[in-house]
Copies of this chain bind each other. A is one copy, B any other.
Amino acid sequence: MSGPAADESAADPADKAGAIAIVCGAGGFPAAVAEAAQAGGQPVLLVGLRGIADEAAIGRFPHEWVRLGEIGGLLKLLKSRNIARMAFVGGLTRPELSDLRLDWGAVKRLPEIARALKGGDDHTLRGIIGIFESEGLRVVGVDAIAPALLAGAGLLAGPTPEAQARADMAQALALLDALSAFDCGQGAVVANGRVIAVEAAEGTDAMLARVAELRRNGRFRAKGAAGVLVKAPKRGQDLRIDLPAIGPATLAAAKDAGLAGVAVSAGRVLVLDKAASVAAARANGLFLWGVAP
């Protein structure tokens, strides 16, 4: 393992000399990271996972495509381009080993891959990172490439949270901390001192849809807006993998769930499209709060 991600700061001019490879999963996030990296003077090479990454978005940057499972091909590509640093960005549904079309470079690493696929998402990604690092590549986090995308601290948008909301926030954070060891969700909803929902494999959007349903069917009752969605990485989480993220859609869903606001770990949660997220918080009367470390 190389040093912590913080060593990889985009402020290091020596590191910027070469392009950084961004292995792109699903969603709009890889392109946002690429844009922020370029804006910071960091050349990028996007490597889209075929059938998973967004073709149009990837196409706007210098790019290549690989299949999931094409580990040998990806290593060869990075070597041929003299790329020393890489990052993994974007969503990925966990594959079954038997669904992967592995190339020879992957087959050679089958035991590591099989071990990686068994366990929580973090475990899987740590295993994948380990494979690339054992080939001499440095795997960095979004915090190193595009720090501007991370949440700030304090009130980021909307009304100041009231005492009950602050208490709900603290309770949700403590709960997520207690769950850290279990490599599961990075989100929870607490309202008026009661735990309404805990996120696991379903993801934040599905959890918020559930909370909205619980309000409609009366299992979560409250007068007016109440409760907080808290997103935070696990304690000691490797920030190079699976950084929690929110965006404008999260705020709209939180509004639909009747919540009073959304809180995130400052510096450790990504805010996709900050301007639109701030606008969505304001438009929906929700606070957006960054919990200082």
List A residues at the B interface (Cβ < 8 Å). Answer: 93-96, 98, 118-121, 123, 171, 174-175, 178-179, 181-185, 189, 192-203, 206, 210, 214, 218-223
Contact = CB atoms under 8 A, between A and B. Distances in A.
Given A179-B178, A221-B96, A198 B196 contact: no
Nearest to A95: B221
Closest 5 CB pairs of A and B: A184-B195, A198-B198, A119-B193, A196-B201, A178-B178
A193 B198 CA distance: 18
Nearest to A215: B201
Chain A binding surface SS class = loop
Nearest to A220: B201
Nearest to A124: B194
Which of A195, A203, A214 has the largest count of B CB atoms less than 10 A from its CB? Answer: A195
A178 B171 contact: no
Given A178-B182, A179-B179, A206-B210, A195 B120 contact: yes
Contacts of A179: 175, 178-179, 198
Given A171-B182, A175-B179, A201-B220, A193 B120 contact: yes
Given A118-B192, A178-B178, A182-B175, A202 B206 contact: no
A168 to B, nearest CB: 11
A202 B215 CA distance: 10
Contacts of A118: 192-193
Contacts of A184: 175, 194-195, 198
Contacts of A202: 197, 210, 214, 219
B198 A219 contact: no
A185 B98 CA distance: 34
Nearest to A93: B218
